[in-house]
Chain A
């Protein structure tokens, strides 16, 4: 079934919010990259024991991820409000939230 199409291009603000959603979708991949990084260097595999360094690295990465999530959550809540506003106003406008 063909759906009615929204506008092809969005205003700057909506465009920003949309990219924030993209970023939110990519955040788990970023987290995975950070968390799986120790596999390459294998703490405790080096002659000098460096488990503590691995420990510090993981918590740093964790904190960075939380900070990123905090910033994104701010944007996404706004995006959701925008979406709710659009969908309550104009039934066709919801579709433009797709992309």
Chain B
């Protein structure tokens, strides 16, 4: 591992770092409000925002770690990491810990890990490695090779069941494939086949998941059950109107009509208290953030780095689209958090580490040292 060159410091992607810091700051501020709920005699707080700060600190350390060595080492790590991930995922059904009815955790006594988080990194790195080889658009053979390698872990995550993470991995990979580009014929065929396959996925959904999709189209069909989330979320956002109800003044969240308000529906709290103006600012921040990721991909010194950044771009892009789409009532309720805004330990650490990878790529866009 090469020591940190002074030039590396000067080439740090400051705009991206600042944008991440702003988003995380907004997230903590919003969690402060979302942690509060009105008791008989005032506002009481759950310590979520404090914990989130600690997770952020841990994530920041992870992010630094990710920049310490040349990202090209990931090329060598990609395959072993994928194999390790598959082994760990295979262990989950056997010795996993059941939390909320799903087996997602492996307990090693001293610490617990979620192999699905490993799967994200493994898919990102291996995908970047495989897609960066060759320059043309993907033909059938290359496409199937990549899918053959990347689909099994994604499938294993989905059956845990962790539809959110599984979907995230699939979409990340799909985004990277599109980023590379497909030959005209393959693209046309997929354009027909993929929409045909998606409805088949319906039969693999659990009943509660089916219900969520159905309630998207008609929330009133079950206003106190699964439609409740969607209805209350829209009431929260809509009642914020142009200027919002003000910080800590959101009735929907303070009186706890809004479910999951510190995790999946955190952005609804924000939109209620800061109104249309605040929400647009947040959407703009996310857009700039994504634009910077795309820029890092464009400016990368090599194709591997470019694909790594594109993979991270898609990882965040899909989460933002699905989470905010869900909160705004245009996507089904899927348990995918909003990066930097939703509370969550492992998600925060993973997010920062991924940013670390992008920072790594962009700070090394001018200097390539021999390993």
B is bound to A: no
Q: Which residues of B contact A (CB under 8 A)?
A: none
Residues of A within 8 A of B (CB): none
